[in-house]
Every structure is written in structure tokens, then in C-alpha cells.
């Protein structure tokens, strides 16, 4: 609020706005406007301040984007585990005044492994947009048992395997392998052993 008041005070003090009516100001050519701007130290200060703030905001967003992209790459390479809370922070972050979440540009096909650490149970699923699908499970739009256990306080971790980083040629084979490897059908949340390959 203080900055806004001081900017308005500087603009009111500006000589060419005081002396000219709106009609006269509209008739000014670009050269006159530029000259009046270039010789007004207050307006130059405002412009430089706005430019510096915009540049700083861009730098901060670039650093945040790099961190998010790195986490998503690590997740895709199955080199980190995240809690649902950590995952949602990364997934829901918006940068550069984006309307959509930044993670949407990094979404990938693969499988995800949800581990209930409290009960030592696994759920394995697949999706062409893994990041979206994982989020659904913790919002009640996925496996009902996983959501119920999460809602009632069980601790979960999330891992993923990107299809392109695996030795498999399709999601069905990768999912079946992961279900078998983690025992997600025999002692987990999965109700079947995975989809058959076509």
C-alpha cells in the first residue's frame, strides 16, 4: 500500500501530466513522451524498480522450476521416495503465472508404487500420466482402500518407474512385473495381477 501511494505521488508530481490535458497528452508524439520520461528521474527510478522486481521474480521461478524438474526426474528414475505431502507440493506448484500446474509439462507414462509403511502393504498402478494418477489416489478418486488408510493416518511413500527408463516395451508388462516384485496382489491392495499385454 505504501509503495502504491508513493508511486501515485511521483506521478502527480510529474510536470508533463500536470500541464497537459488528456486531449493534449494524447496528441503528444512518441518522441515527446520519451523525452519527458527520460528526463524525469522519479519515473526512471520506478521503471528500474519494476524491472528489478520482475527480474528477481523470474530468477526465483527459474530456480523453483529447476528444483521441481529435478525431483520429478528423480521420481521417474525411481531414485527417490516421496511422502504424499511432498508429492502434492511438487505436483501442485504453479510457476510463471501458469494457469496449469508446472508438473503437467513433466508428466510421463509409467507405473507408480504406493507403499503403506504402517501396514507394509503395496499398491502398484500404471498410467500414461503418472503424476496425475498418483494425486487421484490421495484425493479419494483411486483405490478406495489406499485412500481410507491414508485418510485414517497410515504413513505412505511414493515411488515411480518411467516406462522409458525400464526394460519393458509396454505399461502392462511393467505393471505386472512390479505387482509381482512388490507382492502387491498376494499381500497388498491390488485386486488382480495386472492387465494382459495385447
pLDDT in tens, 100-137: 677 777 889 999 999 999 999 999 999 999 998 999 99
Q: How far apart are CA 157 and CA 135, in angstroms?
A: 12
Residue 26 in domain: yes
Structural domain of residue 113, as residue ranges? 76-182
Q: Which residue has the higher pLDDT, 104 or 58?
A: 58
pLDDT band, residue 85 (cuts 50/70/90): very high
Q: How far is CA 54 from CA 39, 50, 101, 109, 153, in A?
A: 23, 6, 21, 35, 42
pLDDT in tens, 146-163: 999 999 999 999 999 999
- Radius of gyration from C-alpha coordinates of the chain: 27
Residue 45 in domain: yes
pLDDT at 8: 47
pLDDT at 124: 97
Residue of 41, 10, 14, 39 lying closest to 25 (CA atoms)? 14
Q: How many domains are contained in the chain?
A: 2
Residue 188 in domain: no
pLDDT band, residue 15 (cuts 50/70/90): very low
Do 106 and 152 share a domain, yes or no? yes
Do 124 and 54 share a domain, yes or no? no
3-state class of 148 per DSSP?
helix
Residue 70 in domain: no
Residue 12 in domain: yes
Amino acid at each position: 500500500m505504501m509503495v502504491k501511494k508513493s508511486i501515485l505521488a511521483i506521478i502527480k508530481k510529474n510536470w508533463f501530466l500536470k500541464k497537459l490535458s488528456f486531449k493534449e497528452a494524447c496528441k503528444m508524439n512518441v518522441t515527446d513522451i520519451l523525452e519527458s520520461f527520460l528526463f524525469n528521474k522519479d519515473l526512471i527510478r520506478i521503471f528500474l524498480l519494476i524491472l528489478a522486481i520482475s527480474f528477481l521474480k523470474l530468477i526465483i521461478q527459474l530456480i523453483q522450476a529447476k528444483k521441481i524438474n529435478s525431483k520429478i526426474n528423480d521420481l521417474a528414475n525411481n531414485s527417490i521416495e516421496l511422502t504424499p505431502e511432498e508429492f502434492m507440493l511438487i505436483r501442485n506448484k504453479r510457476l510463471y503465472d501458469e494457469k496449469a500446474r508446472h508438473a503437467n509439462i513433466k508428466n510421463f507414462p509409467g507405473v507408480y508404487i504406493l507403499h503403506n509403511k504402517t501396514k507394509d502393504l503395496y499398491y502398484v498402478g500404471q498410467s500414461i500420466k503418472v503424476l496425475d494418477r498418483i494425486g487421484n489416489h490421495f484425493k479419494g478418486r483411486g483405490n478406495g482402500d489406499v485412500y481410507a488408510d491414508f485418510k485414517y493416518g497410515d504413513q505412505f511413500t511414493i515411488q515411480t518407474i518411467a516406462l522409458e527408463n525400464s526394460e519393458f516395451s509396454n505399461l502392462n508388462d511393467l505393471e505386472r512385473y512390479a505387482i509381482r516384485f512388490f507382492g502387491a496382489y498376494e499381500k497388498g491392495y491390488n485386486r488382480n495381477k495386472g492387465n494382459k499385454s495385447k
